[in-house]
Amino acid sequence: MADLQDDLRPTAAAGDLDELADPYPEEAVVTAESYEAVSDPDDAPLTRAHAILTAHPVADGYNGLPWSLKRLSYYDLELGESTVDTDVPRLREGHVGALFWALHLPEGLDGDRAVGATLEQLDLAGTVVRSCEEGLRPAGTAGEVVDARSCGRVAVLLGPAGASAVGDSVGILRQLHRLGLRVLTLSGVSWASEAGLTRFGEEVVREMNRLGVIADLSGASPQTLRRALSLSRAPVLCSRSAARAVRPHPANLPDDLLAELGAARGLCLVPLTAEQTGPTVRDVADHLDHIREVAGAHSVGLSGTYDTGSAHPQGLGDTSCYPRLIGELLRRGWEEADVALLTWGNVQRVLRGADFTARAAQQRRAPSTATISDLDG
């Protein structure tokens, strides 16, 4: 395989795409000037929250429903399913317009077993979406997400999956993408470790850019995160990361990494878990306040982490509860434009960036055939 190192340009910020022509101008980032208040400012915050979410629904960055459904012999997500945190009625009550279905696996699965288990989850996810055609619609691009919302459906994007799903070949990543995978977590493997990305890991990131697969850096080492930020030409995200300065959980990000993520126009999706963010709605709002201050309003979003087995803050127990959180932010003085970015606009920007990068990369770069043995020995 030809050496592709020269194909790289030094990109300190993955958000350089913002300087290029946006292929989706109608989805421009909301500004205070372009966004009109949708209700009387004297209304109760919860009422205002519902009104804002009607215009700018939640794009939920992490939901574990596919794995939870594996233990059920029967379920009905369209009418309502009390044995899980997520179903169509509660998604609509919570004004969720899109969600990412996580394909992470139990610990201990690697190699061919990890590849096979990920394929099984992709198959299950496709089956579930097809069985809920009145409420859910599969999506893989920013445009498809908007189309689903226009049809009154919740857009379902597949991922993140664990890096072990790639096995030892970039070709496997390409096949996973063809089956719908859109986000891959870069941690927990030899090529994305505490030491950072190996040559094979860097090649995986380049191929992700070519395909439109978004890099998830939650749980990645600082070395991996920084190298991915400099290497990726598309925006990256952290699917389950809060602020370590607010709550010192090891999965949360320190301020220096939050600042670097913001400078690169990446996205930090704050998980609604009691362990990482705290036991109350106010605790979650504290993280959102802090990340907005450190990384910028363009770099903060939401991950419900529902159906993952995690305990949630009081009042945020399932996917219907997002208006309570937005109401708390409004009480704190959040501008409606910033709420619109938090819930919908920032995820759409990252999806558009991945789409645009992929189209550009496919014009200059052939599919990679690299394996670990080729590059890492």
In tens, the pLDDT along 232-243 reads 999 999 999 999
Alpha-carbon 253 to chain mean position = 16
Give the pairing of strands 161-162 and 136-138.
Answer: unpaired
Distance CA 51, CA 141 (A): 26
In tens, the pLDDT along 19-48 reads 334 433 434 333 333 333 444 444 589 999
In tens, the pLDDT along 261-280 reads 999 999 999 999 999 999 99
Q: By CB neighbour count within 10 A (0-12 exposed, 13-18 middle, 19+ buried), where does 282 fall?
A: middle
Distance CA 83, CA 362 (A): 43
Q: How far is CA 25 from CA 142, 272, 348, 352, 376, in A?
A: 12, 31, 12, 10, 42
∠333-339-344 over CA atoms, to 5°? 175
Write down the pLDDT at residue 377.
85
Q: Once rounded to an integer, what is the mean pLDDT over residues 104-121?
A: 87
The answer to whether residue 208 scores a pLDDT higher than 80 is yes
The answer to whether residue 138 scores a pLDDT higher than 50 is yes
Question: Does residue 138 have a cis peptide bond before it, meaning omega lies within 30 degrees of 0?
Answer: no
What single string gives the DSSP state of each residue in 93-158? HTTEEEEEE-----TT--HHHHHHHHHHHHHHHHHHHHHTTTTEEE--SHHHHHHHHHTT-EEEEE
The answer to whether residue 3 scores a pLDDT higher than 70 is no
Contacts of 137 (CB under 8 A, 6+ apart): 129, 144, 147, 148, 151, 153, 154, 155, 156
Write down the pLDDT at residue 255.
98
Distance CA 329, CA 335 (A): 9
Tokens standing for residue 66:
């596919």
In tens, the pLDDT along 61-76 reads 999 999 899 889 899 9
Distance CA 105, CA 84 (A): 18
Average pLDDT, the chain: 90
In tens, the pLDDT along 293-318 reads 999 999 999 999 999 999 999 999 99
Distance CA 232, CA 229 (A): 6
Distance CA 36, CA 343 (A): 16
**Which one-letter amino acid corresponds to residue 94?**
G
Q: Once rounded to an integer, what is the mean pLDDT over residues 80-92?
A: 97
Tokens standing for residue 353:
């960036």
The answer to whether residue 109 scores a pLDDT higher than 90 is no
- Say which residue the tokens 């893989």 belong to: 140
Tokens standing for residue 333:
């003085």
Specify whether the CB–CB gap between 128 and 185 falls below 8 A: no
What single string gives the DSSP state of each residue in 111-122? HHHHHHHHHHHH
Write down the pLDDT at residue 40.
45
Write down the pLDDT at residue 43.
57
Distance CA 235, CA 264 (A): 7
Distance CA 167, CA 371 (A): 9
Tokens standing for residue 52:
């804002």
Give the pairing of strands 196-197 and 192-193.
Answer: antiparallel
What single string gives the DSSP state of each residue in 301-360? EEE--BTSS----TT--STT-HHHHHHHHHHTT--HHHHHIIIIIHHHHHHHHHHHHHHH
Percent of the chain whose pLDDT exceeds 70: 89
Write down the pLDDT at residue 112.
87
pLDDT-wise least confident of 60-74, 240-254, 328-342:
60-74
Does the CA dihedral 202-206-209-212 come out positive or negative?
A: negative
* pTM for this predicted structure: 0.88
Write down the pLDDT at residue 275.
97
The answer to whether residue 201 scores a pLDDT higher than 70 is yes
Annotate 100-109 with b (16+ C-beta within 10 A) or e (fewer): bbbbbbeeeb
